[in-house]
Amino acid sequence: MIHVIAVLTAKPGKRDEVLRHFHANVPAVLAEKGCVEYVPTVDAADAGPAQAAFGPDTFVVVEKWETMADLAAHSVSPHMKEYGARTKDLLASRSIHILEPHKG
């Protein structure tokens, strides 16, 4: 299982617009071979003092893929290229973390 944590920060005030494009793309991603989970998340309200908030312009995508090959195919899929083209001018930064379970 491959886990991905993608931290996306929109330009000020543009997060909702980016998320509209994201949600429109979700059905195509979930239909991809090997996609187990693909969920955009935002800071939880009233999380208390332990919360290290990302802030109002950032959202975090939590993804799970069956294999690294499935993730690689996802990144070059036509719908992801289209999503990237639609959102590139709306994003301030993007950080992708690709993880696998530790086998201890």
Strands in 58-65's sheet, in edge-to-edge order, are: 35-41, 58-65, 2-10, 91-99
The domains located in the chain, with CATH, are 2-42+55-99 (3.30.70.100)
Q: What is the pLDDT along the chain (104 residues), one digit of tens a residue?
A: 999 999 999 999 999 999 999 999 999 999 999 999 999 999 999 999 999 999 999 999 999 999 999 999 999 999 999 999 999 999 999 999 999 999 98
| Whole-model pTM over 0.75 | yes
**Residue where the block lists tokens 């955009």:** 40
State how far the Cα of 46 lies from the Cα of 3, in Å rounded to an integer: 27
